[in-house]
Amino acid sequence: VTVSDNRNLTDSKTVTAYLLQALLPQNVSTGEWKVVDRGNCSSIDTAVLNATQKAANWTSPDSNIPFVEIR
Residue 4 lies in a domain: no
Residue 28 lies in a domain: yes
Domain that holds residue 38: 17-54
pLDDT band at 1 (very low <50, low <70, confident <90, very high): confident
Nearby residues of 48 by Cβ (< 8 Å), 6 or more positions away: 17, 18, 19, 35, 37, 38, 39
Q: What is the pLDDT of residue 10?
A: 59
Sign of the alpha-carbon dihedral angle for 5, 10, 50, 27: negative
pLDDT tens per residue across span 10-50 = 555 677 888 999 999 988 898 999 988 999 888 899 999 98
Q: What is the pLDDT of residue 17?
A: 87
Residue 11 lies in a domain: no
Whether pLDDT at 9 is above 60: no
Residue 65 lies in a domain: no
pLDDT tens per residue across span 59-69 = 888 878 888 99
